[in-house]
């Protein structure tokens, strides 16, 4: 009886069943195979369009990346610099533009060359960077006014073959002269005879401000005698420059000139080399320089006998003296002629330097006794003392510093010394210890150079007492307004304000110099650098 009540699961006459049958016949079997080719073709078209879209998207991404890279410069910090600051940077970079005829050939050593335009022609390079930089360069004639012109002579055949180069060289020189406007010219010349470049430059003689010349002026530098140089202020040549009313500085390595060619009476600075009859010539020059403030001497002569020179006496206006010497004989000249013969009662700056070309066999010793006598006799107050590359013991330097109690700035550079018995460096633990200020007992004598404000030590060795150096700096520092300040001022001591220590051949032990970092944060200017870079 239960079977009679059951109903079939599928209604064989249902419309849905007919639809299922239709789909089974159309989507499978021979019908599908008949339409497979058309579907594959449609699918291929879809894939082709998709690939094209993908390529277009990739190309668009590349364009966006390129545009972003192009516009990235707009976000550069350089863009945010005002024109005034940017021009100051350009002025430092564009100090000198090298114009050299090509190809350069000479019996002498060729000038230094560089493949980087920013080094040899910085102004031209900067003006080619972008529109803003070009506008700034063109509106700043001072950037185009610093010129170094180097030429050499050619034979007639060479001149014909290189005519195109010469024309281009002159055109470039004219371009710089035109863009410099009326700005004073700073010239460095190495020119053969009356070359066309010199003809161009002499047309602007009224704008010559500084001039350096590196060839024999009596043989090659044929400047017309009727030229006037109203703007000339500095000269590294003694020839035909008597008509220079504002000339204040002269540098030369020769004494072969007539005094009338240089207006010595108006000079404030002169730097001369002594040789042959150099000492007598120096005396003649100094007698004609009543306004002289600074004197530089390169000693390259054997001293005369004591009967051969006469003491010039007092030079009351000299405030700065710079002495250089390359040989043992030249230092004998310093100790036997310069120091005994002159008095500089107004002297406040003294620099002594060994020349770069000094070789080991000619290493010199410090004329300790002559120097002490010179400073004591001059009764001057020296506030700045610099000694560069001189072999002397720490005791010699300490003895020399003892006669300069008012010293404010001290620099000792032993670069070039090998720290052997013949190349003594004064930078030793004993020197550093002698500079330590003892503030615990007012009855003790005042320490060495008690008023020192600035100390620069440039050390070429490897053995250095870092702890003593740190202790020395700490002993000379105190916070402004502290009780220690009053104590030190009562004892006649000053506060050190700047310390620079540079190692040429050793690293900076960072841990040992941590106390100086604290002083740097308190206001002391501290720089400590070595082969591992600046650490403070």
pLDDT tens-place string over residues 295-304: 988 776 555 5
Using the predicted structure, report yes or no on whether residue 245 has a pLDDT greater than 90.
Answer: no
Using the predicted structure, report yes or no on whether residue 497 has a pLDDT greater than 80.
Answer: yes
Task: Give the whole-angstrom CA distance, residue 284 versus residue 270.
Answer: 13
Q: How confident is the model at residue 170 (pLDDT cuts 50, 70, 90)?
A: confident
**Looking at the whole model, is its pTM more than 0.85?**
no
Structure confidence by residue, pLDDT tens digits, 36-72: 667 778 888 888 888 998 999 999 999 998 888 877 7
Specify the range with the lowest mean pLDDT, choosing from 95-99, 205-209, 219-223, 319-323: 219-223
Structure confidence by residue, pLDDT tens digits, 18-41: 777 766 666 555 555 556 667 778
Using the predicted structure, report yes or no on whether residue 486 has a pLDDT greater than 70.
Answer: no
In our burial notation (b when 16+ CB lie closer than 10 A, e otherwise), range 64-87 reads eeeeeeeeeeeeeeeeeeeeeebb
Share of the chain above pLDDT 70, in %: 70
CB 439 within 8 A of CB 485: no
Number of Cβ within a 10 Å radius of residue 198: 19
Task: Give the whole-angstrom CA distance, residue 410 versus residue 397.
Answer: 11
- What is the pLDDT, as a whole number, of residue 509? 92
3-state secondary structure of 410: strand
CB 321 within 8 A of CB 350: yes
The better pLDDT of the pair 282, 515 is held by 515
For 401, the token pair is: 């510093």
- What is the pLDDT, as a whole number, of residue 28? 56
> What DSSP line would sit under 70-90, residue for residue?
HHHGGGSGGGGS-HHHHHHHH
∠267-271-272 over CA atoms, to 5°? 115
CB 389 within 8 A of CB 413: yes
Task: Give the whole-angstrom CA distance, residue 137 versus residue 175.
Answer: 13
Number of Cβ within a 10 Å radius of residue 326: 19
- What is the pLDDT, as a whole number, of residue 311? 57
- What is the pLDDT, as a whole number, of residue 363? 47
Task: Give the whole-angstrom CA distance, residue 382 versus residue 367.
Answer: 18
Mean pLDDT (the chain, rounded): 79
Mean pLDDT across the stretch 364-389?
A: 88
Contacts of 143 (CB under 8 A, 6+ apart): 90, 91, 94, 123, 126, 137
User: What are residue 320's DSSP bridge partners?
Assistant: 294, 349
Tell me which H or E stretch contains 15: helix 15-27
Using the predicted structure, report yes or no on whether residue 238 has a pLDDT greater than 70.
Answer: no
Q: How confident is the model at residue 14 (pLDDT cuts 50, 70, 90)?
A: low
Structure confidence by residue, pLDDT tens digits, 455-466: 999 999 889 999
Contacts of 479 (CB under 8 A, 6+ apart): 485, 522, 523
Specify the range with the lowest mean pLDDT, choosing from 276-290, 364-378, 489-503: 276-290
CA atoms within 13 A on the CB side of 484: 13
How many residues are recorded in the chain?
A: 536
- What is the pLDDT, as a whole number, of residue 256? 46
Share of the chain above pLDDT 90, in %: 32
Q: How confident is the model at residue 494 (pLDDT cuts 50, 70, 90)?
A: confident
Using the predicted structure, report yes or no on whether residue 261 has a pLDDT greater than 90.
Answer: no
Structure confidence by residue, pLDDT tens digits, 110-146: 445 555 778 889 999 999 988 899 999 999 999 999 9
Contacts of 200 (CB under 8 A, 6+ apart): 170, 173, 174, 177
Number of Cβ within a 10 Å radius of residue 373: 15
The better pLDDT of the pair 219, 373 is held by 373
DSSP state of 314: E
Specify the range with the lowest mean pLDDT, choosing from 57-61, 119-123, 432-436, 445-449: 445-449
């Amino acid at each position: 009886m239960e079977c009679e009540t059951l109903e079939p699961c599928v209604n064989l006459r249902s419309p849905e069943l007919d639809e299922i049958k239709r789909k089974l016949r159309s989507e499978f079997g021979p019908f599908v195979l008949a339409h497979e080719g058309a579907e594959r073709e449609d699918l291929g078209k879809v894939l082709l369009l998709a690939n094209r879209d993908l390529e277009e998207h990739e190309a668009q991404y590349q364009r966006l990346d390129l545009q972003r890279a192009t516009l990235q410069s707009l976000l550069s910090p350089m863009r945010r610099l005002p024109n005034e600051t940017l021009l100051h940077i350009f002025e430092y970079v564009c100090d000198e533009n090298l114009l050299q005829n090509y190809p350069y050939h000479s019996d002498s050593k060729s000038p230094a060359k560089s493949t980087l335009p920013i080094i040899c022609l910085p102004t031209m390079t900067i003006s080619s960077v972008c529109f803003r930089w070009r506008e700034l360069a063109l509106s700043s004639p001072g950037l185009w006014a610093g010129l170094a012109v180097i030429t050499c002579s050619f034979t007639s055949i060479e001149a014909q073959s290189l005519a195109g180069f010469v024309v281009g060289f002159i055109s470039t020189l004219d371009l710089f002269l035109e863009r410099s406007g009326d700005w004073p010219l700073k010239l460095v010349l190495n020119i053969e005879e009356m070359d066309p470049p010199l003809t161009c430059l002499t047309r602007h003689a009224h704008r010559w401000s500084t001039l350096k010349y590196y060839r024999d002026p009596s043989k090659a530098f044929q400047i017309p005698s009727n030229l006037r140089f109203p703007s000339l202020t500095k000269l590294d040549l003694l020839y035909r420059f008597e008509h220079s009313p504002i000339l204040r500085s002269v540098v030369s390595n020769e004494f072969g000139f007539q005094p009338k060619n240089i207006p010595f009476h108006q000079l404030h600075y002169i730097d001369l080399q002594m040789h042959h009859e150099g000492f007598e010539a120096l005396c003649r020059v100094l007698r004609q320089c009543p306004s002289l403030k600074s004197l530089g001497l390169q000693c390259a002569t054997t001293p005369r006998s004591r009967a051969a020179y006469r003491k010039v006496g007092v030079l009351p206006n000299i405030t700065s003296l710079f002495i250089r010497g390359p040989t043992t004989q030249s230092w004998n000249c310093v100790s036997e002629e310069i120091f005994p013969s002159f008095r500089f009662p107004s002297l406040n700056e003294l620099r002594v330097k060994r020349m770069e070309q000094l070789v080991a066999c000619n290493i010199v010793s410090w004329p300790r006794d002559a120097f002490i006598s010179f400073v004591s006799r001059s009764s001057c107050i020296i506030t700045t003392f610099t000694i560069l590359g001189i072999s002397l013991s720490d005791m010699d330097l300490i003895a020399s510093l003892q006669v300069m109690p008012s010293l404010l700035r001290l620099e000792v550079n032993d670069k070039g010394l090998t720290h052997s018995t013949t190349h003594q460096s004064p930078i030793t633990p004993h020197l550093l210890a002698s500079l330590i200020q003892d503030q615990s007992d007012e009855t003790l004598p005042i320490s060495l150079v008690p008023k020192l404000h600035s100390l620069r030590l440039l050390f070429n060795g490897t053995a250095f007492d870092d702890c003593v150096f740190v202790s020395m700096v700490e002993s000379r520092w105190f916070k402004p307004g502290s009780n220690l300040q009053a104590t030190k001022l009562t004892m006649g001591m000053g506060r050190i304000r700047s310390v620079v220590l540079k190692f040429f051949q050793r690293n900076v032990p960072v841990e040992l110099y941590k106390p100086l970092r604290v002083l740097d944060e308190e206001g002391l200017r501290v720089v400590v650098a070595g082969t591992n870079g600046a650490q403070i």
